[in-house]
Amino acid sequence: MKKTVLWIFAVLALAVAGTAIYRFCFRKSIPEAEQIVQVQSILQQNSCFVCHSFEPEKPFYASFPVIGKTMEKHMRHAVRFVELEEASEDLANAGEALLAKLEYCVLENTMPIIEYKMVHWGTSFNKAEKAVLTDWIRSRRAEILGSEEFADMPVQPIPASLPTDPAKVDLGKRMFNDTRISLDNTISCASCHIIEDGGADHEDERTSEGINGLVGGVNAPTVYNAVFNIQQFWNGRAADLKEQAAGPPVNPVEMGDQTWDDIVARLRKDAALVKEFEQLFPGEGLTQSSVTEAIAEYEKTLITPDSRFDLYIKGDRNALNEDEVKGYKAFIENGCAACHAGKNFGGQSFEYMSVFGNYFAERDDDIQRNADDDGLMGFTGNPRDLERFKVPGLRNVALTAPYFHDGSEDDMDDAVEKMFEYQLGVDPSDKLVDRITDFLKTLTGKHPDLKK
């Protein structure tokens, strides 16, 4: 009897291992390039480019009075949500937001929209096409994450730490808090990015106040987890944290200096500091490059792992209560993660503020339009980028009010409601909004200097 059971186990184990090995080899046997060609042709064959393109070819009925107008509206919404024709040319470099969007429409079966399917039968993904898409999405995501773990999720937990040089971190932290970087010794990075409170500016400041009480045009995003963003600033004008740190000191309404030479000259009066920079940056010493590099190194430690949500998806099923779990599901099922993707729940793409409707036309009259409202266009000069903003990360969002690039919203509920209205074209129930905000509050993570 015992022997038979053992045999059954052995055969079962072999079967399981065999399947795993077979699947592993089979996967590897489709090279990435071929997988991408398949994905491209699936998108093409299912008419995805008809609507998700900046220069779509109009179908024959586009000129019909009613259908034509409806179609035009759909096309406008479609391309504002996601452009696919140009994106499909560069799938090898697809980012997390594109992956999250495609995954969403495959899993939720949303595309093409119903009106289109009624006219064009057979334009939904079949089972085999879905499998190719999901396989590609997951392997590309694993490539970005450097791991298979969580490659099936549009949002992922934050690692406990990132590799850094502790001596540079320590120096960078002091630089971050050093008011000598500002023209009149009054402002440091920490004046606007309050590390104890969430890394953003004071709650009562819609936009930041810099040197001499001058006020800037946008709300200060948090520095926590900024390291996970693909680019820095609302309009992406800095490629990384080092490049970003060079900006505020010579911004006339932030720290007020004319040039970095002035700043470096001022800091060089401190002999001990000069010596320390020479030790840590041999051959370079204290320069703009080394100061900003030290600050960026420090910012890599400003990450907030172990939020209750992170504990939950890593396996602690008691870390979230029932309503919070429902809120998490609602966040995914309503497509929030299609834009708020990745470890930081955002920071992976530039999206239009208003896929549906017109946020700017309906905004509070007290807020004057300024150049910052142009978003990404202000950096690229491309008219297509008008009013596209880097999607803010939602980590610690309970601590970073007011919300949006213009700081127009004090209340998280209202911000979420606006997202439903302008990004998803949905009128949500109060209960749905409550659930999602309950969930968003579970994204507050841990950092030794965070006092909340």
Catalytic residues: 254
**Contact call for residue 210 and ligand HEC (CB under 6 A):** yes
**Contact call for residue 185 and ligand HEC (CB under 6 A):** no
**Contact call for residue 94 and ligand HEC (CB under 6 A):** no
Site string for ligand HEC, 9-38 (x = CB under 6 A): ------------------------------
**Contact call for residue 228 and ligand HEC (CB under 6 A):** no
CB nearer ligand HEC, residue 18 or residue 65: 65
CA distance 24 to 148: 12
Give me the least distance between CB of 214 and ligand HEC, in Å please.
8
**Contact call for residue 233 and ligand HEC (CB under 6 A):** yes
**Contact call for residue 232 and ligand HEC (CB under 6 A):** yes
Which range touches ligand HEC (CB under 6 A), out of 3-11, 222-230, 278-286, 315-323? 222-230
One-letter identity of residue 439: F
**Contact call for residue 403 and ligand HEC (CB under 6 A):** yes
CA distance 183 to 197: 25
| End-to-end Cα, the chain, rounded Å | 61
**Contact call for residue 445 and ligand HEC (CB under 6 A):** no
CB nearer ligand HEC, residue 91 or residue 355: 355
Q: How many C-beta neighbours within 10 Å does residue 307 have?
A: 20
Q: State the number of binding residues for ligand HEC (CB under 6 A).
A: 76
**Contact call for residue 51 and ligand HEC (CB under 6 A):** yes
CA distance 189 to 401: 18
Cα 415–chain centre separation: 17
CB nearer ligand HEC, residue 52 or residue 141: 52
Give me the least distance between CB of 300 and ligand HEC, in Å please.
11
Tokens 């009013």 correspond to what residue?
387
CA distance 280 to 263: 19
CA distance 358 to 344: 27
CA 237, 239, 244 angle in degrees (round to 5)?
A: 70
CA distance 161 to 168: 15
Which range touches ligand HEC (CB under 6 A), out of 15-23, 162-170, 183-191, 279-287? 183-191
Q: Which two tokens stand for residue 388?
A: 């596209």
